[in-house]
Chains A and B, each alone.
Chain A
């Protein structure tokens, strides 16, 4: 009798052990260096999701392992991904702020049997590099195309495009150009500036001299954005009636306090505003603000990470914790849910997120803080960039 009980207990113990695994998720992002803010937002989004939904899927514990790639460095990124898979035994890879870092990892996925959930890197082509890639952020084509229509609707037909001279900048330029020319607008000039530009006065002079009625701009968020927006204001372009159009990277919430009044009234299109009015977003903002410590630092990478965790949780559910990358990815194809940013779904074909893009305007709240006020919605936008790449 005793023996039977013992055996039963042992069996129970092993079965419990078999089910209550720890599933590891490796997150690669810029947690130090010039982009540390974005990495911090990754972590905040992930922490928020796990605070709201628990750190368990079924019986499995979820453990996040962070690895730092401060600036785009594919070699380092690949080495860390390899380490995460081989040494730490992660079943999911996630994060990735920079396109080359993500590109470097895609060749590993099949052999490692690991899906990659991209929480930011925004070049269209990444999802085509491996069938195991799912993206929950956005592409510049996705966010920059609608603003072309906004510009046209505002009665502007001649625009000068000004972008930072690197991959995303070029993407933004092409997307806007395609969109604007499709609605009959004209790009009078397209300028690409080096990433390290500090003083934008000469650029502003170029804009003035071009005779354009409006400017389309893209710069990576951070110090350069601040310089650009201030120069636009100080050189009299804003007062001179030149209209400003940009994707939302330029007015990300964490930069708004620094931009101050110079940003007031700027219109941008983007997939997410911290101010988005929905119960889902309220819950998210509350949890994420707690996770990041200083609510003013909250920005868009957090929502990409939050939804990325949602996708990963669904994958784990679908595979009951077994490691099967293809099955996991198949399970989220066509998945739709209500994200803090609004209704979203994973396109089964491209594995990229389909979402609403919002036109927002920088406004001042009653308490003196600045925020992106949503004023128009473009529903269910896919990624036009994929078609353009082909």
Chain B
């Protein structure tokens, strides 16, 4: 009888998780559709948001779920972008799906390399390692200009039509749909991963690595694995960027992009995939809005937004809303 209860509770909990996955998927698709209807003429921006969302999700995996502090996460994104771009330009792999595969591979390898270095320290020194890494990646890409085009950027990426039917055109519909589908797939996979035994292990490591070691698990190996996964996700985002804009440049390996992605993540709320998405959408839209309204002095507005978020929503936008809702529900019970 007791076991049955146990199984029932477990099943209910499992279903609740599954329900939230589906809800999350539905939210993404509905938002994507709304974006398409509201801004049919600005799909390029929406596609860019999708690519950056993949970067921020990937950052959330290591920062939000594992507690790794990094200001160098664009190294993974940029490696994916360059992998896809180099595959297209130098090896003639122009099928968009294969380019994304190349990006995932490139990102995962970069994730492995970065993980090995970054995981050697904690806290502030860790932050510094990540900064050093992103600069090394940037310099390396600048030096290897016969492969990467150096500071002129890697141009001439011409992806084939998607599954031979849909060309990547001026209006960017194909790129947008491609991006949204990619994001939706990644999101669902990540939802599964963060609730899997491995996801649980990583949450444990974030809270108390010594405890995890006493359970006989190696925090370093688990974190390294998460870094590779994170690299694959960021690499997919980079590849999407390469496919949709058909050019890759050094900015995709920059400290600026790394810092921006961290800002977006904290803005939305760390440790939640929804938070990562919220942060990306809000930041990118806000930036687009204010920079179009005043191309000369919009930075002040962005700064004010960040300050306001820290002052009024200390857990990030999504984190704070979620906490309020949870409290409501708690009170209702």
Are A85 and B155 neighbours in the complex by a CB distance under 8 Å? no
> Which residue of A72, A82, A87, A111 contacts B249 across the interface (Cβ within 8 Å)?
A72
A117-141 with Cβ < 8 A to chain B: 123, 125, 129
The answer, yes or no, to whether B295 is at the interface (CB within 8 Å) is yes
Q: What's the minimum C-beta distance from B91 to chain A, rounded to whole angstroms?
A: 20
A78-122 with Cβ < 8 A to chain B: 78-80, 82-83, 85-87, 99-100, 103-104, 106-108, 111-112
> Which residue of A39, A75, A111 contacts B241 across the interface (Cβ within 8 Å)?
A75
Residues of chain A within 8 A (CB-CB) of B145 are 170
Residues of chain A within 8 A (CB-CB) of B244 are 75
Are A100 and B151 neighbours in the complex by a CB distance under 8 Å? yes
Q: What's the minimum C-beta distance from A172 to chain B, rounded to whole angstroms?
A: 13
Are B152 and A99 neighbours in the complex by a CB distance under 8 Å? yes
> Which residue of B41, B252, B296 contacts A83 across the interface (Cβ within 8 Å)?
B41
* Size bracket, chain A contacts: 35 or more
Are B152 and A103 neighbours in the complex by a CB distance under 8 Å? yes
Docked pose: A47 CA to B209 CA in angstroms: 61
Residues of chain A within 8 A (CB-CB) of B140 are none
Interface string of B222-261 (1 = CB under 8 A from A): 0000000000000000000100111111111010100000
Docked pose: A40 CA to B172 CA in angstroms: 30
The answer, yes or no, to whether A275 is at the interface (CB within 8 Å) is no
Residues of chain B within 8 A (CB-CB) of A83 are 41-42, 44-45
The answer, yes or no, to whether B217 is at the interface (CB within 8 Å) is no
The answer, yes or no, to whether A337 is at the interface (CB within 8 Å) is no
Are B245 and A86 neighbours in the complex by a CB distance under 8 Å? no
Residues of chain B within 8 A (CB-CB) of A100 are 149, 151-153, 155, 247, 249-250
**Chain B facing A: main interface SS:** helix
The answer, yes or no, to whether A36 is at the interface (CB within 8 Å) is yes
Are A72 and B295 neighbours in the complex by a CB distance under 8 Å? no
Q: What's the minimum C-beta distance from B128 to chain A, rounded to whole angstroms?
A: 16
Q: How many residues of B contact A (CB 8 A)?
A: 43
Q: What's the minimum C-beta distance from B240 to chain A, rounded to whole angstroms?
A: 10
The answer, yes or no, to whether A180 is at the interface (CB within 8 Å) is no
Docked pose: A108 CA to B254 CA in angstroms: 25
The answer, yes or no, to whether B286 is at the interface (CB within 8 Å) is no
Residues of chain B within 8 A (CB-CB) of A75 are 48, 51, 241, 244-245, 247, 249, 251-252
- 20 further contact pairs, Cβ within 8 A, besides A68-B296, A79-B45: A32-B291, A32-B296, A32-B299, A67-B295, A68-B291, A71-B251, A72-B251, A75-B244, A82-B42, A82-B170, A83-B45, A86-B41, A86-B172, A100-B152, A100-B250, A103-B155, A104-B247, A107-B246, A112-B170, A129-B155
5 smallest beta-carbon distances between A and B, as pairs:
A100-B153, A87-B41, A166-B151, A82-B44, A68-B295
Binding site for A on B (CB under 8 A): 39, 41-45, 47-48, 51, 139, 142-143, 145, 149-153, 155, 158, 169-172, 241, 244-252, 254, 256, 291-292, 295-299
A-B contact pairs, 25 of them (CB 8 A): A32-B296, A39-B296, A67-B295, A68-B298, A71-B254, A72-B153, A72-B251, A73-B249, A73-B251, A74-B251, A75-B245, A75-B249, A76-B48, A78-B44, A79-B48, A79-B245, A83-B45, A87-B41, A99-B152, A100-B153, A103-B247, A107-B246, A165-B142, A166-B150, A166-B151
